[in-house]
Structure 1
Amino acid sequence: MRTSILKSLKPDIIVEMLKMAVAFENWKKVIETADILYQCVQSIYEERQYHKAMKLPIPHVQLERPLVYYFGLSHLMCGMAHQNQGAYGQAREYIYKYAELGWMEDLEEEGMQVVEEFRFLAKTNLYAVDILSGNIELIEEYVAFLQDNLEEILPGLNTILQAALMYHLDVGDILHTFAEQINEFGSYEDIENVSYYYSYCYHLALYYRKYDRLQEAVGLTVEAMNLADRSGNDGHFKRCTALFESLREWATVEQIGEYRQILMQCLDEYETDRDSIMKKVNQ
């Protein structure tokens, strides 16, 4: 991308675009946007280094975070996108990139804190990629890591459930180990954890279906459906609807009633939105 174009871009706006692409699970767009973010901040960094070498005033660029954060995020998002596409080798390459960002000059204290945060993320995400790519002997070590890092339990269990489905593993004992923490998942309010909790419920429903715990699978599917509706993710909602229909004959009367209520609520919201649009058109 031309330098003149890169200079006109604002990293924090690109970050918002990146988050939107992740929310819609448009992994191709995530990779494209993350690459633009990387080029943008690389241009800023090179210009700063040039001015520093020439003993010129350092150009000021308005940033909400230290520059190193944007380097790390661009690599993190690319790694996430490749992981979700099953390209674990490529995901691992990006993890190595944000595992060590200390090469940057003039980091200062805040920048060094960001470096440490990405180093930790690299460690936990490398566990996930290695396990999902078939290195299942790491699960025991990963469980010990999660016990020492409670904030990683929700995404960690999601990884373990995906591995269980891929490699036909019984992870019942692991779920029991974290029963106390699992009971707290439903109280999470922030967008990232709601997304992780949806994925956890959905994959646990699939896991229970596989082991003929069908009524429990139905309950988790309804819960995942609620979370998908709450986050406005149509793709997740469709997935849950299909899963519920595959389990309908094992659903209780109450579960079917809750399922119908969610669908009717969606229909009511659609009608309300349509009426609002029509009123604006006719004004």
Structure 2
Amino acid sequence: MRPSILKSLKPDIIVEMLDMAVAFENWNKVLETADVLYQCAQCIYEERVECQEKGGSKLHTHTERPLVYYIGWSHMMRGMAYQKLGQIDQARACIRQYATLGCMEGLDEAELQVVQEFKRKAEIYRYALEIEAGQVELLEGYVNLLLEYPEERLSGLKVITEAAVRHGWRIDFIIHMLEEKVDGSGVGLGSLNNDDMYHYCYQRALYEQWIGRPQEAVDFILKAMRVADRPGMERQIIRCTAVLESLRKMATEEQIEQYRVFLAGIK
């Protein structure tokens, strides 16, 4: 893309476009938009470095976040998209890129804090990627990281339960231990309007179904449906409905009534 076009773009608007592509699970669009975000941020960065090398003051382009954030976010979103598309080597490469943002020149204190945050995220997502690929021996290290960083526990629960179903792991003890920690952190498994909560409840329902606890599975898919009951989540509701219908014959009368009431409320 031409530098003149890149300079006219606003990184924060591109981030919003990325969020929309992720919400619609359009992973090719995520890759495309993340690339535009990277090029835009890189263009601003190179212009800033060039100005400083010539003895001028740091160029100031108004953004809501430090410039390095947009470069790191572009790598992180590309990594997510490659992971969803099953291109694991490319996802690993993206993780390495946002783990090493500190090599950029002229970073101020606020930018260095962002660099450290992405380095931390890279460590967590590196574990998550390999666990999803079946590396069960990394579970202990991943759980220890989740215990160290409370804000990552809910998304980590989703990763672990999804991997358990995919690879046939029985991990009740790990799930219950992390659930207790999530409840104790103030987030709570009853929280609404939380994407991580939706994904965890959905994957937990699949785990309970696989283990052979259908009524527990229904409880979790009902929770997932309630969390997803907001604009833009229609696709998620359809997925939940498909899972619940597959469990209908094993659900209790009370659960079926909750399901009926929910469906009546979204018509």
Q: Which residue is 1:186 aligned to?
A: 189
CA contact (8 A) 1:82 1:90 kept: yes
After superposition, residues 1-283 of structure 1 pair within 5 angstroms as 1-56=1-56, 58-183=58-183, 184-188=187-191, 194-230=194-230, 232-267=232-267
- More divergent stretch after superposition (163-172 vs 257-266): 257-266
Q: Percent identity?
A: 50
Distance 1:116 1:134 in 2: 28
Segments ≥4 residues shifted beyond 4 Å: none
Instruction: Give, in angstroms, the shift of residue 231 of structure 1.
Output: 5.7
Per-residue displacement from partner, 1:82-137 (whole Å, max 9, x unpaired)? 12222222111100000011111221110110000000000000000011112111
The amino acid across from 2:13 in the alignment is I
Distance 1:182 1:124 in 2: 17
Distance 2:232 2:216 in 1: 24
Unaligned runs of 5+ in 2: none
CA contact (8 A) 2:161 2:207 kept: yes
CA contact (8 A) 1:154 1:185 kept: no
Per-residue displacement from partner, 1:212-234 (whole Å, max 9, x unpaired)? 10111111111111111136311
Aligned length: 264
Q: Under a length normalisation based on structure 2, what TM-score does the superposition of the two structures give?
A: 0.94
Q: Under a length normalisation based on structure 1, what TM-score does the superposition of the two structures give?
A: 0.89
Helix, strand or coil at the partner of 1:102: helix
- More divergent stretch after superposition (85-94 vs 54-63): 54-63
Distance 2:159 2:29 in 1: 23
The amino acid across from 1:186 in the alignment is L
Helix, strand or coil at the partner of 2:106: coil
Q: Which residue is 1:279 aligned to?
A: none
Question: Larger radius of gyration, structure 1 or 2?
Answer: 1
The amino acid across from 1:162 in the alignment is E
Instruction: Give, in angstroms, the shift of residue 56 of structure 1.
Output: 4.1
Per-residue displacement from partner, 1:135-183 (whole Å, max 9, x unpaired)? 1110012112222222211111111111101110000111122242344
CA RMSD of aligned residues (A): 1.6
- More divergent stretch after superposition (52-61 vs 130-139): 52-61
- More divergent stretch after superposition (123-132 vs 22-31): 22-31
